[in-house]
Amino acid sequence: MDISPSGYKNRRTFGARLRLVLFFLFTWLGVALILFLFGARGLQGDDFTVGSNPGLGVAAVSALLLFLALSLLLIRLLRVEKEEGVIAARLMESEARYRMLAENSHDVIWTLDIASRCYTYVSPSITELCGYLPEDLVGRPFDACLTPDSAARLARDIDLSLRRIAAGDKTAKVVVSELEKVCRGGEVIQTEVVSSYLHNAEGVAHTILGITRNVSERKAAELALRETNRQLHARIEEIGRLQTALQDLAVRDSLTGLYNRRYLDETLEREVSRARREGAPLSLVMLDIDYFKQVNDTHGHQVGDEALRMLAATLLANVRAEDVACRYGGEEFLILLPNMPLDAAIQRAQAWREAVERLAVPAGGAPVCFTVSLGVAAFPEHGKTPDELTRCADRALYRSKNDGRNRVSVFSA
């Protein structure tokens, strides 16, 4: 950032020489004029007049006018030099102020010649930034001590900015970049570079004025913040999964994984209201394992529990996404079938019964087989409220039990 008033100094030297020439010319002319006048008087005597010698008078007047013109020129020259002196003083004061700012700033201030792409000035704070001295970089190309990726990115930024400036885009005159700089010791630091493009009167950019600051700590803090946010989001997601699991545990049977009676009661109330509002069909199937107490007493509760789990898995494998299968209590199960008419529900119940017949529970020796009895009720044919539907399905189930078990019965009044 060499803002020396060298141009003014050259002009001042020229002005001093011109004043010296004018002074000698002025002095010579004055002396010549005096000698001329006195010489003319001696030639003509005491009664000398201009009119007595017209040629001499013209010469005297011309010399006097030239004398006055030179006097005015000298006065003007002195005035201009004084004004330039004031301007030069202000310029030197401004230069000193900006030099003080540049040399005492923690940020590195630099200038780059666009034609050669070389540094023309680098402030002393470069030593604090990356260990180099200013003279290590002045005269070197712009990619000095940049990583290859950052150097390529800066070159693209410069070319793009120059094209935009040439196209009249004023916003391209200031560019902010993040670049990696290699220190003298080999350490790579993160820097932020603000580049301003200076141009001449014709609008042609000739110099880049840049400010470089170390943002490694800020980048590390941003990285730590992103990692903290990532961990926080992961914890939130984990908490969400745990909450879902807890909510799931609150509405599911721990042994079979089916919904529990509490969830069924809430869902049945909602589905009956929807079916009534939309005029849609709805069916309810209740089933019970035949002779389940005998299975427990003969083979033990572990076999009985396994029979419950296998039955639940069979039901889940044969229900729709909108169906709700739940363990109603003990060995009783209830399946809610939204948008399913009675005939389809009977067919579904028969399919479940046949699938259960094919099950065999491992029991150490011979596998244990079991059957189920099922009862079917439908809305609105058999009941118009959740309680009515449940009672009707329960009565249909006991009808299957009374008729010999391992069968499907439909509620009838």
Cβ pair 121, 111 in contact under 8 A = yes
DSSP string of 172-189, one letter each residue: GGEEEEEEEEE-TTS-EE
Strand, helix or coil for residue 142? coil
What is the model's pTM?
0.49
Rounded mean pLDDT of 383-402? 96
* Preceding omega of 380 cis (within 30 degrees of 0): yes
Tell me the CATH number for domain 261-410.
3.30.70.270
Collapsing DSSP to helix, strand or coil, 138 comes out as: coil
Which fold would CATH assign to domain 108-214?
Beta-Lactamase (3.30.450)
pLDDT band at 76 (very low <50, low <70, confident <90, very high): confident
Output the CA angle 389-393-399, nearest 5 degrees: 145
Q: Where are the alpha helices (DSSP H) in 292-385?
A: 292-299, 301-316, 342-357
Rounded mean pLDDT, 289-318:
94
The structural domains of the chain, with segments of one domain joined by +, span: 6-104, 108-214, 261-410
Listed range (9-18, 248-257, 292-301) with the worst mean pLDDT: 9-18
78, 19 in Cβ contact below 8 A? yes
Please state which of the ranges 3-7, 118-122, 317-321 shows the lowest mean pLDDT.
Answer: 3-7
